[in-house]
Amino acid sequence: MTTLVTEIRTDAVGVAPTGDPRLSVHNLHVGFTRGGAFHEVVKDVSFDLHAGQCIAIVGESGSGKSVTARSIVGLTGRNATVESATISLDGEDLTTVGEKRWREIRGRRIGFILQDALVSLDPLRPVGKEIEEALKLHGWGDRSSRKRKVIELLDSVGVPHPELRARQRPDELSGGLRQRALIASALALDPEIIIADEPTTALDVTVQAQVLSLLDDTKSRGVSIILISHDLSVVAHLADHILVMKGGVVVESGPAQQVLTRPEHEYTKSLIGAVPSEHTRGRRLGPELDIVATAHPTRFAEEFADYTGPVLEARNLVKRFRSPDGSVSTAVNDVSFELQPGTTLGIVGESGSGKSTTARIALALTGADEGSVTLLGREWSSIRESQRRPLRKRISVVYQDPLSSFDPRWNTERILLDAVTDEEPSTLAEKKARVRELLAQVGLTDAVLPRFPLQLSGGQRQRVAIARALAPSPSVIVLDEAVSALDVSIQAQILDLLVELQKQIGLSYLFISHDLGVISHISDTVLVMKDGAVVERGTADDVFNRPQHPYTQQLVGSLPTLDQEIP
């Protein structure tokens, strides 16, 4: 086994490490026993963390990065076996300490931030209580001084009206505020080390930028940070040193600048290449695809053969919702767009901007209060569902989480057979052949046919979802956050697949995402939505290189990119 013992060197970006490291991890091995068998998930990981330094551990899900982080605080789980020559914190050997000592260390010496505060803070309690709990557990002050400290802490992480916020539950706070509250609870006792496990995953890009800058502030106060992410672009401007993990092994380790600009390992190169951005538009993020896709001949295809106008057109869509207390909110406000054949229209916006409601109206799953949608030049939104049915095959959809849109008791073959049934009367054999053809188009083999959704990996599931969307040979596919739940490397494969399919079959995409990088990579034209309205529209080049609206400028400015780091 090759060991990459980390030598922290002075580098251009980071702080010069002086003296002994705060945290030393050497030859860490972690394994789990499941059903009698032992699986090693972390193999021989070593690093030193110095004061005021940030080490990033980067890798896709299952690479062992989270398990590594958890074993540093002794919380790997029930069936885990941790073997390490050394885990030492300021000279104290942590491999032998008991539970009581661990509890003194957790929270006070090492703070931990998990992703998505909606579930990482107790959803039934006000966030102030959660922060106070950290103080109380370590016997900090009395009741009233703790209350004051909570307010101070919330204020210090940039939460406005801290007195009010402290009394609110995570579900009553916006994503950014509750993530800050979670960070405040980890910072409560001024720990020397913060471990942040995917702290910005699932956050909107502007919120992500805020959280990262907050961590940066913390770092500049001398706190050491271990930052864990699947996305190199997220860690790029914070990390001094980067470990790249794959299959439990550190495949590359070095100063951030070096890893990002002169990666040595193929895997690191592929991770860097996988980050979508404005600069990657028109080129592949991963290796060349080996698929051949052809448009399936249907009678509809002939029927629309002469049509050359926009495949999907929305005019002045308005959608209002009435909340239980009687107030009316406008989710979609005067939205218009045209989707030209063979192109991709990206709709980007943060949560609550109305982009998903727009998608539902485009799919005629939700009626618009005003305005209309035409599909292939025909009335679409204003007609009755029974009239709509023959046109339904011209538009399909792929969602963020295919798991919830698949019947868990159907295997892949049945899921796809179900999607190809309504075509011309055909035999089962013909349908099965069509299912295999669809699988080949999305780069899967017949081996997945007997598998159930839960037995597929995230990337495979999304490919099956795309195959299902392709089944009726649509003209338009609506992709609603279709790659948002995927690791960067898997996301790159799916994006490449979508682009290739578009090239070969001439599909049109309505691509909806909160992720600016993805939108800028894949879109020909872009709509930027905020509070239900379109604030900016134009070609991808214009919107991302010459944003006009202040909101777009803010979005583009918040986007973490590798390009900032790579000269």
Residue numbers of the site for another protein (CB under 8 A)?
73, 75, 78, 99, 103-108, 110-112, 114-116, 119-124, 130, 133-134, 137-138, 158-161, 164, 169, 171-172, 174, 176-177, 182, 185-186, 206, 209-210, 213-214, 217, 324-327, 554
Question: Among residues 193 and 543, whose Cβ is nearest to another protein?
Answer: 193
H-helix segments, 188-313: 205-220, 232-235, 256-261, 266-273, 299-303
Residue 87, SS3? strand
Residue that is written with structure tokens 């951005």 in the block: 277
At its nearest, how many Å lie between another protein and the CB of residue 131? 9
> Which one-letter DSSP state was computed for residue 144?
H
Q: Name the one residue in this structure whose structure tokens are 């079959």.
A: 505
**Closest CB 544 distance from another protein, rounded Å:** 20
- Minimum CB separation of residue 118 from another protein in Å reads 9
The residues pairing with 205 across neighbouring beta strands, listed in sequence order, are none
Distance in angstroms (rounded) separating the CA atoms of residues 49 and 242: 11
Nearer to another protein, 100 or 384 (CB): 100
CA distance 437 to 514: 32
Give kind and range of the element (H or E) at residue 65. helix 65-72
Fill in the amino acid letter for 340: Q
Residue spans of beta strands (DSSP E) within 297-359: 312-322, 328-339, 344-348
- Smallest distance from the beta carbon of 321 to another protein, in angstroms? 15
Task: Output DSSP code: residue 353.
Answer: S
Query: 214 or 242: whose CB is closer to another protein?
Result: 214
Residues 6 or more apart whose Cβ sits within 8 Å of residue 542: none
54-58 vs 224-229, strand pairing mode? parallel
Task: State the minimum distance, in angstroms, from the CB of residue 69 to another protein.
Answer: 10
Cα distance between the two ends of the chain: 34
User: Of all helices (H) and strands (E), which one includes residue 137?
Assistant: helix 127-137
CB nearer to another protein: pick between 423 and 531? 531
Joined tokens for residue 499 = 């682009």
Supply the minimum distance, in Å, between the C-beta of residue 35 and another protein.
11
Closer to another protein by CB, 167 or 378: give it: 167
Q: What is the per-residue DSSP string for 200-224?
A: TTTS-HHHHHHHHHHHHHHHHTT-E
Whole-number minimum distance, CB 272 to another protein, in Å? Answer: 25
> Nearest approach, Cβ of 288 to another protein (angstroms)?
39
Query: What is the smallest separation between the CB atom of 530 and another protein, expressed in angstroms?
Result: 12
Exposed, middle or buried, 164 (CB in 10 Å: 0-12/13-18/19+)?
exposed
Measured from the CB atom, the residue of 131 and 362 that comes closer to another protein is: 131
Task: Note whether 443 and 291 are within 8 A (CB).
Answer: yes
Residue placing its CB nearer to another protein in the complex, 327 or 427:
327
Closest to another protein by CB, 126 or 273: 126
Question: To the nearest whole angstrom, how small is the minimum distance from the Cβ of residue 161 to another protein?
Answer: 5
Is the Cβ of residue 25 or residue 182 nearer to another protein in the bound state? 182
Burial 219-249 (b: 16+ CB within 10 A, else e): beeebbbbbbbbbbbbbbbbbbbbbbbbebb
Q: Which is nearer to another protein, 206 or 491 (CB)?
A: 206
C-beta closer to another protein: residue 76 or 233: 76
In the complex, the smallest distance separating the C-beta of residue 554 from another protein, rounded to whole angstroms, is: 8
CA distance 471 to 466: 9
Sheet order of strands, 533-539 included? 395-398, 476-480, 508-513, 344-348, 525-530, 533-539
